[in-house]
Amino acid sequence: MAPRDLPRHGTLRVAAGLRFLHRELVEQEEGGRLHRAPGGASWPHAVRGRARAASRQAWSRVRPRALPRLTSVSAAPCGGWGGLLSHSGKNTHLTRRARDAKIPRLRGVVPNLSAPERAEPMADKVRLAMIGCGGMANGHLRGYELLYQKGMRNFEITACVDPNLEAAGKFADTAEKFQGKRPAVLADYEEMISKKLANAADIVTPHGLHHIIGCACLENGIDVMIEKPIGITVRASRLIAETADKKKRIAATAENIRRGLGQRAIHWALNEKKIIGEMRSFFSQGAGYSPFPGDAPPFRWRIQKLLSGGLMVMDSGAHFVDSMRYFFGDLERAYAELRLFEPAKFTDDKGNTIVSDCEDSWSAILTFKSGLVGTWSWSNVQPGHSYRTVLYYGSEGSIKDTGDVFHGFQSLAGEVMFKDGKTKSVNDLAIEFLLSLSPDDKERLFPYGITNGVYLECWDFVDACAKRRRPDLDAWDGLKAKAFSETVYESAAAGKAIAYDDVVACKVEKYQGPINKKWGLKK
C-alpha cells in the first residue's frame, strides 16, 4: 500500500523512492555506526578499536611551520595527543616558543556573505592530501572511494599524511587500489606543502590542530575541508575563515549530519511543507549511566579542555547545534548549567594521573531569533533508569525522533503525530520529499544517488574545489555552529544568559579565554 498522503506520481516513482531509501540504509551501514550508550550517548566510532592509538601518539610530533612549533614532551598526557602541550604534574602549558608565536589578530564580525566573492581558479584536477589517517578519516576515505567508483574522476588522492607512517601507508594502499596510482606517504604535512603535492587537503586531526594545519595550507594556496568543530574556539575558527577569505581559497566544514536524507526531509517538512504548523518548542534530552572511558585513546585528549576545547557540548554536540541552525536559524541567547560529576581519569606514561576538566552533564535553554525556545540536556553519569526524548512541537502536531540527542534523524524510524491523533512515519516523509524534488535538485542534494552524509561532504568539497564555488558549509558556517556550542559554555561560565552574537564576535570569552591563551590566539 502506498504511504499515507503520498502524492500520486505513479508506482514507478514510488518504487524509485523506496530503492533510494534502501540505498540510504545500506550506505549508513557502510559508513559505520557510532557506539550508543544509555540515554542516547554516542562515543566517536574510533573507540571501537585501540589499533588507531599508534596514529594518535604519532600525531603528537606534528609541528607547524607557518605557526609556532608546539614541542612534544613524551606524548603521554593524553594517549598521544598530549605532545601538543607540555605537561608537568597538574600543570598543562604551551612551550615558550608557542607562547611567543605571532598569530594574526582577528578582524571584525562575521560578514553577511559567508564566502569570498571569488576563489582563485584551479588549473588542473583536484589533487587531494588526506591529513590524518585514522578515526573519522576512514569514513572520508570510503567516501572518496565510492565517488571514484561512481565515475567522479576530477580528483586524485596524491598524499596521505600521518606521523604514523603505517596508518598513512594503509590509506595509500586503499587509494592505490581504487585510483590506480599510489599517493605519497608522508609523516609531516609541512613536507606535503613544500613539495607542492596537493592543491586541496582533507584535515581530520584533533581540534587544537585544525587552525594550525588549516591556516598553513590556506596560506600556501591549498583549499581545505576541516572536520567539525572547525576550530577549538570561535577565535580559532575565525582565523581559519579570515585566512581563507584573504587568500581567496575554499575552506569547508566537514559536517555530515544535515546532509543526510533524514535531515533534508525534516528541514523540508518543517520549513516548506509546514507539516506541524508554526514551531512552538523542542526537547532534546537524554540521560543514563555510561561514564567516559578516560583511558581509551580517543578520550585521553578529549577529556582535557585545553586540548579539545570541551567535551560533548561541542564534540558530538557540534552535530546538534548545526542541525538546529539548519532547522530553525540562528540562536538569540542561551542559559546553561554544566556539571562534572564523575571525572574520567587515566595514568600517563610518566605515572601522572590526568583528571578530566570537561563536562559530563548539562541543561540548556536555547532561545532562537525566531522566538522558538528549546531545551537541550544530556548526562552520561545518571545511575538507574535511563531515558531519551527528542520531540519537536508545532501548532498542528509534533515530530518524534527515535535517535539520540546529537545525531538527529539519521534513521527514518521517527513519527509525526497530528492534532487529530493520526500519524505519518518519517520514512513516508522522506519518500514525499524525494518525490517533490526536481531531477536537478535531487542531483544537487544527492549526487550519484548518494545519501550518506559523510560521503556527500566529500563530494561537495571536491566539486567546490573543481568548480571554484562556495561549498555547502564553509568556514563561516562552521564558526557560527561553533559559536552556538560556545554560547552554552560561556553561559555556564558566567552564570547567566549569554547573547549568541556576542560570542560570534568574540566579545565574550570567559570560558574560551584560557584555551585561546594556551594556543596563542590573540585579540
Domains of the chain: 47-105+482-518 (no CATH), 126-257+451-474 (3.40.50.720), 258-441 (3.30.360.10)
Strand 373-379 versus strand 251-254 pairing type? unpaired
- Report the pLDDT value the prediction gives residue 108, as an integer from 0 to 100: 34
| Radius of gyration of the chain from its Cα atoms, rounded to whole angstroms | 22
pLDDT tens-digit map of 253-268: 999 999 999 999 999 9
Q: Is the peptide bond before 229 cis (omega within 30 degrees of 0)?
A: yes
Read off the DSSP letter of residue 180.
Answer: S
Q: What angle do CA 430, 435, 440 make, to 5 degrees?
A: 110
pLDDT of 163 strictly over 50: yes
For the chain, how are helix, strand and coil distributed in percent, rounded to 5?
A: 40, 20, 40
Question: Rounded mean pLDDT of 444-466?
Answer: 97
Residue type, 231: G
Q: How confident is the model at residue 522 (pLDDT cuts 50, 70, 90)?
A: confident
Nearest-CA neighbor of 390 among 492, 319, 285?
A: 285
pLDDT digits (tens, 9 = 90+) for 387-438: 999 999 999 999 999 999 999 999 999 999 999 999 999 999 999 999 999 9
Query: Whose CA is closest to 225, among 170, 347, 143?
Result: 143
Query: For residue range 282-312, what is the model confidence (pLDDT) as tens digits?
Result: 999 999 999 999 999 889 999 999 999 999 9
Please state the pTM of the whole predicted model: 0.82
Report the pLDDT value the prediction gives residue 523, as an integer from 0 to 100.
Answer: 81
- Alpha-carbon span 206 to 228, nearest angstrom: 10
- The whole-number pLDDT of residue 127 equals 98
Q: CA nearest 334: which of 128, 180, 511?
A: 511
Q: Which long-range contacts (CB under 8 A, 24 or more apart) does 101-109 make?
A: 101/67, 101/68, 101/520, 103/67, 103/68, 103/239, 103/520, 103/521, 103/522, 104/239, 104/242, 104/243, 105/522, 105/523, 106/235, 106/238, 106/239, 106/242, 106/506, 106/523, 107/242, 109/504, 109/505
Q: What are phi and psi of 282, to 5 degrees?
A: -145, 155
